[in-house]
Structure 1
């Protein structure tokens, strides 16, 4: 075979892959255009101005081992935002060593803190322009009005311009429930103006959650809406991947409106395993309701007008940029000497299937029970199985959920609680179920190969005889196919059973990628101690490989599983190449060679993949070799292979 042509083809294939990656924005480049952060979050003062109240961090809940609290919330009095959210170390730790509780969300160096109050707008009688109190630009520090173990109320007096008289008092209360991941964030506006007024509050929602995948940035923003025509909750109304926010025109992307036709019901920010979901609650005791087709009644909240995702920090790339959900308020009337509460229900916790799916029984359900609420509002759609790309259309969430339920079964009934063993059992079980399809595909391909080998001398004669008459050559070729009982579309039909299996394998891959139960789950102690991360056995200072690190991430240690995958893939390549009919022309031989060696590139791309996924691929590849062993026994019985053929093919058979 022409080695030069082979190398040229491999180089060409590599350039195509690189081109696709660049088109998809893999390097986070700006394409020559200048992008910047949203002006709302720029040119903020480095330190708050001199104010009567000190900047304090107030902790609600305890994330320690001896605590019964599900989470801990640290509230900062500067703009009344959240400094950090930690989950109880007994449930979710920072690392597999379980030395520190998981910090699920942190303000870090963001110019805006999560859930900070951005501004308060007051419409006052006889004043043409509404008064806007910009809390963020002023870096306003709130005072602590009330505090106990599970709640804190911050307060701020907003004064009439040029006076010391309070126009309104704004209170902001954070309340945690020690038994759940739900937090109530409520503004309470007290009217001290002596007149009826209208008030609007703009506030931040969650900022980016930490990037918790060493290879991909699969953070995102998501929203659900009410479909007023079909009278159902539409949990897929808006989905925005983190990477696409890097190139925002105007540094903002609308998520949608909470008012009007088909209003948003909730918005959220998520990463691979955790989510923050914001759902406005009604601000009156008698809210408007909307009936769903299944008989449920949704209480509508009307104090939030819309949600947008802003870029608060435009970094060097998508990973180092910071985004934030901005909730724009609706003007709400506050009567003279009265007050109004504007509450949000915020879920801050794991994307655990059973928890977010909830449960609903129309006869027995009690209003306000969390399983009912989560089920009604379809919180489970914050769990993203498909990661997009060309395989998104054939990755089915319902199939991934079924497979994960099977995994749960094997964990508890067969794997002794070991998720690594359960993954291998699951893969082999799926292989067993799909064996008839695999067998049919391989038998058909082998039969086709045998017939084509016998036909090859006649095919060559036809090609030589009618080399200059393409039409006659095609007619003669069709006659040969018909005489030998060969369907020209046979190779495609032979691939059909394999194509039918693809959604199952994609669902298995997607499910393992998103399943929080694999986080810190150990397979082999001392080696694979966290199935959600690479199986790093030796760590060193991270470094990048030009071009490759854009797709596989930095190399920060020695990961053993991908190297073992390379060995197994090599064996599989040898088996596959020996199983294929011998190529009859240089072009076909070249394509066979390229396809054989391209498979060895996959361990490079999988180097930083979670070890649970690599265990799945390892088990699947071994299962494929076992499949081949049994299929070859069938081929020997059918006489397609000689009786003395080996259990697995060798190159000697194909000479």
Structure 2
């Protein structure tokens, strides 16, 4: 029994908390093997290049001549500011791309004068998102001419921005953005018209370039950041190592595709056949992605329109559910999603009353503890009784040390006589592991905790707790008060918990609080708060059992 407890505790400390993310993140959401490029699939190129001719069939001589694009005009690209209730964006005539996208309701940092969160973290020379290309006939870096230098919203809260460009070969591109001041969704319609006297072929491609939204921190190392998509009814989260040796393409019904982190998503939602291939290349630092359609041929005078929706915003579950398009699948809690999402709902439910996510975490912890209280009570009593039977078990083992079969028989008879279940203490722990997993995922991933204050020195429940003491501590910076309290509570819990372990096992168990304390040093303070409160409740329950527990009566056998 005690060996089991020691084993489970060690597994929780070294595998569940650290190995879980590496073993299970995306497990069950694995992307299929890269789809082999075919003649009708676009070659993967960085935005602004024209190498996608490799994807198109061999062009007739007239088309090949039309693909030669003249030198781009030298005038500087103008910038158009779009400001809604939710964000402030800058659209540039250089490729008709986004140059900046700042969220108003989410700050860059905890500083009082912090600006809004910028989602476009890649440098301009690395590429800008939402550039459009159409085969070699229309590269992504065309210079567009905007119909207006400002975007004015009407009384209905809607506005449009139209931009046009000529490829110099008779192909004309018109881009129309449609904005809504109350929504993160942006409609983008791209009309391609062949005004030449010869047929032209091309593949519509909408490009993105992204870098991680958040700086590197201890929590982010456990969480996914990179290309993400919902294709063929399945979530794909593609790590950079999967396209480190070359571009990777996933084909199928694309509901949305883009770049995601724990808190934010830059996604493209192609309409109809505007997107059938999602391609990615690059590194952890900079990833270039493309949503591409099929190969199209435009006869002279013919036009075709491609439609997209664009979502640049926070990965708040209720917001994404309201928007639809399966955007809520971007909030991925893995195997324990069925528990994690109701847990997140509970967290927000309590927040609606107390207006403090720290207190909401405490209430959720108390609620879960109350639900499991009867089961835990039986388990703790069973462990207490096992401890009381220890002297009798020692005698049996000594008496039948040369007869293992008889020893086991006598031990089982002892359990039966005193109505003790040797596995009774294990069940509560096993049942609570999924709950811990779910809370772990929720408290590390939900955007609600980002920059959410609790009290005193804990001003960000998504960051490690640190109390500034006037000078920097090596490695730590400030003093991790809550984490130390958590470790102390765990130590006290171990002291109160009955054990039948030998001295070596007992020492291992008493060392676990130290291990947990070091592991939790850089974990989100919201997770530490949950663990601390859970320990306090467990201490209370164990104390009550220890006070009411009666000694095992002597019985003749």
Shorter-chain TM-score category?
A: 0.7 to 0.9
Cα gap change, 1:107 to 1:82, in 2 (>3 Å): farther
The answer as to 2:262 corresponding to 1:272 is yes
**324, 327, 350: which one pairs with 2:291?**
327
Structure-2 separation of matches of 1:532 and 1:335: 56
> 1:285 corresponds to which residue?
none
**562, 566, 569: which one pairs with 2:487?**
566
Whether the 8 Å contact between 1:182 and 1:346 is mirrored in structure 2 is yes
Whether the 8 Å contact between 2:372 and 2:428 is mirrored in structure 1 is no
Deviation per residue, 1:15-67 (Å, 9 max, x gap): 999997999799xxxxxxxxxxx9844998xxxx98424444624333xxxxx
> 1:240 corresponds to which residue?
237
Deviation per residue, 1:322-377 (Å, 9 max, x gap): 2132222322343532432212101111122222122xxxxxxxxxxxx4xx1xx3
SS at structure 1 position matched to 2:415 = coil
Structure-2 separation of matches of 1:641 and 1:77: 87
Alignment of 1:258-297 (within 5 A): 258=252, 263-281=253-271
**81, 92, 104: which one pairs with 2:106?**
92
Structure-2 separation of matches of 1:486 and 1:50: 91
Whether the 8 Å contact between 1:83 and 1:106 is mirrored in structure 2 is no
The answer as to 2:193 corresponding to 1:190 is yes
TM-score normalised by the chain length of structure 2: 0.78
> 2:175 corresponds to which residue?
172
Structure-2 separation of matches of 1:103 and 1:51: 30
Whether the 8 Å contact between 1:60 and 1:151 is mirrored in structure 2 is no
The answer as to 2:542 corresponding to 1:628 is yes
> 1:607 corresponds to which residue?
521
**496, 499, 517: which one pairs with 2:427?**
496
Cα gap change, 1:191 to 1:24, in 2 (>3 Å): same
SS at structure 1 position matched to 2:360 = helix
SS at structure 2 position matched to 1:508 = helix
Structure-1 separation of matches of 2:71 and 2:297: 32
Deviation per residue, 1:114-150 (Å, 9 max, x gap): 2223x422xxxxxxxxx55544xxx544343444415
> 2:379 corresponds to which residue?
441
SS at structure 2 position matched to 1:537 = coil
Structure-2 separation of matches of 1:115 and 1:531: 34
Deviation per residue, 1:65-110 (Å, 9 max, x gap): xxx521122223333322221112xx22222345211113333266
Deviation per residue, 1:150-207 (Å, 9 max, x gap): 54333332123xxxxxx21122333321110011233221221134544322231352
**161, 164, 174: which one pairs with 1:155?**
164
Cα gap change, 1:403 to 1:332, in 2 (>3 Å): same
Query: 1:447 Cα shift?
Result: 1.7
Query: 1:451 Cα shift?
Result: 2.1
Structure-2 separation of matches of 1:433 and 1:222: 36
**333, 344, 362: which one pairs with 1:424?**
362
> 2:126 corresponds to which residue?
111
Whether the 8 Å contact between 1:563 and 1:603 is mirrored in structure 2 is yes
Structure-1 separation of matches of 2:488 and 2:341: 31
Alignment of 1:502-513 (within 5 A): 502-513=433-444
**146, 156, 175: which one pairs with 1:144?**
146
> 1:78 corresponds to which residue?
94
**476, 499, 511: which one pairs with 1:580?**
499
Whether the 8 Å contact between 2:389 and 2:552 is mirrored in structure 1 is no
Deviation per residue, 1:589-617 (Å, 9 max, x gap): 32332232133112222222222111111
Structure-1 separation of matches of 2:267 and 2:471: 36
Structure-2 separation of matches of 1:15 and 1:509: 15
- Segments of structure 1 that go 5 or more residues without pairing to the other structure are 1-10, 27-37, 63-67, 122-130, 161-166, 227-233, 282-300, 359-370, 387-392, 467-472, 546-554, 584-588, 643-655
| Higher RCO by CA contacts (8 Å cutoff, separation 6 or greater) | 2
Cα gap change, 1:61 to 1:627, in 2 (>3 Å): farther
Query: 1:304 Cα shift?
Result: 2.2
TM-score normalised by the chain length of structure 1: 0.67
**324, 327, 342: which one pairs with 1:402?**
342
Whether the 8 Å contact between 2:208 and 2:288 is mirrored in structure 1 is yes
> 1:287 corresponds to which residue?
none
CA RMSD of aligned residues (A): 3.8
The answer as to 2:415 corresponding to 1:485 is yes
Whether the 8 Å contact between 1:60 and 1:176 is mirrored in structure 2 is no
Query: 1:273 Cα shift?
Result: 1.5
Query: 1:210 Cα shift?
Result: 1.0
- Segments of structure 2 that go 5 or more residues without pairing to the other structure are 1-9, 26-42, 50-69, 152-158
